[in-house]
Amino acid sequence: MKLTGIAIRNLERRKARMAFLIVGLMVGVATVVALLSLTSAMSADIQHKMENYGANILLTPKSNDLSLSYGGISLGGVSVDTRELNQDDLPKIETIPNSRNISAVAPKVLGAVEVNGAQVLIMGVDEKVEFHLKRWWSIAGEPIGAPDQLVAGSLVAAKLQLHPSDNVEISGETFVVSGILTETGSQDDNLLLAPLATAQRLLGKEGKVSFVEVAALCADCPVDDMVRQISSVLPDVKVNAIQQVVKTRMHALGEFRNFSLAVSLVVLFVGSLVVFVTMMGSVNERCHEIGIFRALGFRKHHVVRLILTEAGIVSIIAGAAGFVFGTMAAKGVLPLLVENAHGVVWNFVLGGGSVLLAILLGALAAIYPALHASKLDPADALRTL
Amino acid sequence: MSFITLNNLSKTYHTEAGEVRALKPTGLEIAEGSFLGIVGPSGSGKSTLLTLLGGLAKPSAGSLLIDGIDVYRMNEEKRADFRREYIGFVFQAYNLIPYLTAEENVMLPLAVTSMSSRKQRQAALTALQRVGLANRVGHLPNQLSGGEQERVAIARALVNNPPMILADEPTGSLDSSTSAEIMDLFQELNHEGQTILMVTHNVENRKYFDRVVSLRDGCVDVDEPKPTVKVAATG
């Protein structure tokens, strides 16, 4: 029999006390695990949504004029900027130091064309990149698959009575409407989408693009750095980061994380206090027993090790149980906080961390009672001798 | 040369009510293989003397030599090792650990040694066989009678073969026939060469001792030694 055996026997015998200790510490660990799992799942959700958000850096021609539009209302004719970017300059974007953070470069050309007697805004796009970028687009029919195919926005289709497979004539050329864009509620509903080269030819803007959307948004992308880097390789281009929404959400998440940290600290403190008070009570209750151990030749460090071993066993159980309950609680709560979340996963690194945290707290809470026990005078502790 | 030597050993407790001289300076020599009874009324200093002999509390003055070792010149931790090696304790009211079986209680002094668990178990079984409890190894203390618990306590005192056993009122909680059985067991051990020092109130036990030291008011009042044992009560 070794000290561990004595510790296990004591815990087996005093089940109620052990259960109390385990619950005290477990609640603390479970709270930390649940909050960490939640913040981690929410961060992952935001990152996932940001990656699906589309472009977050906008490249437009530099203009010395002040904008003549406000809140989506523009003064007719004046706001139409005739400046364009050179398509040949775009490969320079791929040369910036953070180019690996760029997931898509989507050039577009804009202009007005006449279709069935009506003026329509046509947007030439790199169809493969664009449809990948705008994942929320839903198309009735097929996306653009050939140079003579178009996709019509919902309002354009309604106004021009267009249906998939219909033919339309633009500047004497016949195009097939491959699909209709389901209503998005955005400006996209007013567009006629065409392949970039086709639109450039129809608008007489070969080799020119009106603006470029760059998708680089991810939780830890240095977007501001990338804006500077793109500006340096394309000095004549105005580069803006569209990250207001992201910043707001990240800020909210940061506040939630801070709140979680504060709650975790309080709960852990209370849990440690429970362990401390219980262990201290246990030591006082076991004075006599500790006196017997000392009389039989246990050194002080044997008594310390005995008490710490008991605390360690309790901590390991509490840490593992806290991890299980915390993860389950996070799984239960996450759907209430985030819609369509990917869910909380069983993170066994977090599990290991939970056990280590519990051991650390258990040891910290038990060290004073253990030292106190070791200092008991064996004669006083026994009293009977 | 005596096995145990007390040189003017004394103990004074400092309480709020003032000083209490529990043991006045006492000199005593005890030979190896003795069966010494320490008797006296309550408050006479018996328990204090046994506590000092067991290396459990520092004396206020004087020294204690056991097997030539000055017990109180050692630090506290060395004294713990000394107790484990040299002294088997049989406490009043058995003092078994309630959550350990008879076998585990007996193994307790070996738990902090380098002895393997298998050897510990063998030693515990041998000790329990010696006290006639080989069939009760797996029982918890509350599943044993008073006499059986006392035997477990004796087995625990014997398990590491210490040169001396200190027993404090070992029959205090037992009926007369069980007391006699336990005293017979102690006598057998003594006949095998074991040095035993026992505090007792029970006058019936006197017949087992080969020497009786009677204390009164912290001093040796009467000593009935064997002819070879020298006594020098200075208190």
Residue appearing with tokens 């809140």: A71
CB A297 within 8 A of CB B81: yes
Beta pairing partners, A322:
none
A13 with B99: Cβ contact below 8 A: yes
| pLDDT tens per residue across span A334-380 | 888 777 666 778 888 889 999 998 898 888 888 888 888 888 878 77
CA distances (Å), origin A51, targets A39, A55, A173, A235:
18, 9, 38, 27
Could you give the percent of chain A with pLDDT greater than 90? Answer: 24
Count of CB atoms situated within 10 Å of the CB of A224: 10
Count of CB atoms situated within 10 Å of the CB of B1: 9
- Helix (H) / strand (E) element for A214: namely strand A211-215
Task: Give the domain ranges of chain A.
Answer: 3-48+249-382, 56-241
CB A212 within 8 A of CB A195: no
The C-alpha atoms of residue A14 and residue A6 are separated, in whole angstroms, by 12
A206 has a chain B CB within 8 A of its CB: no
A72-86, A351-365, B17-31, B173-187: least confident range = A72-86
Question: Given this model, what pLDDT does residue B113 score?
Answer: 92
- Reported as a pLDDT band with limits 50, 70 and 90, residue B231 is very low
- Sort out which chain B residues have CB atoms less than 8 A from A298's CB and list them: 80, 111-112
- Sort out which chain A residues have CB atoms less than 8 A from B100's CB and list them: 6, 9
| pLDDT tens per residue across span A170-212 | 888 899 999 999 988 888 888 999 999 999 999 999 999 999 9
- Sort out which chain A residues have CB atoms less than 8 A from B107's CB and list them: 1
B193 has a chain A CB within 8 A of its CB: no
- Helix (H) / strand (E) element for A69: namely strand A69-70
Question: Given this model, what pLDDT does residue B196 score?
Answer: 94
Question: Given this model, what pLDDT does residue A126 score?
Answer: 92
Does A80 have pLDDT greater than 50?
no
Amino acid at A61: P
Task: Provide the token pair at A63.
Answer: 């203009």
CB A307 within 8 A of CB A18: no
Please give the domain boundaries of chain B with CATH numbers for all domains.
35-58+75-212 (3.40.50.300)
**Three-class DSSP category at B74:** coil
Does A385 have pLDDT greater than 50?
no
Does B166 have pLDDT greater than 60?
yes
Does A237 have pLDDT greater than 70?
yes
The C-alpha atoms of residue A360 and residue A165 are separated, in whole angstroms, by 69
Rounded to an integer, the average pLDDT of A91-109 is 86
Does B105 have pLDDT greater than 90?
yes
Of residues B226 and A146, more confidently modeled: A146
| pLDDT tens per residue across span B65-96 | 999 999 999 998 999 999 999 999 998 888 89
Task: Provide the token pair at A252.
Answer: 């909210």
Measure CB to CB from residue B80 to each of A2, A6, A299 and give the nearest one. A299
Q: How many residues would you count in chain B?
A: 235
Question: Given this model, what pLDDT does residue A73 score?
Answer: 54
A105-114, A244-253, B112-121: least confident range = A244-253
How would you label A253-285 residue by residue, b for 16+ Cβ within 10 Å and e otherwise? beebbeebeeebeebbeebbebbbebbbebbee
Sequence-distant (6+) residues with CB within 8 A of A51 are A103, A217, A218
Residues 159-188 on B with a CB inside 8 Å of A are 168
Measure CB to CB from residue A379 to each of B51, B117, B156 and give the nearest one. B51
Question: Given this model, what pLDDT does residue B15 score?
Answer: 83
Interhelix angle B117-130/B146-158, rounded to 10 degrees, is: 130
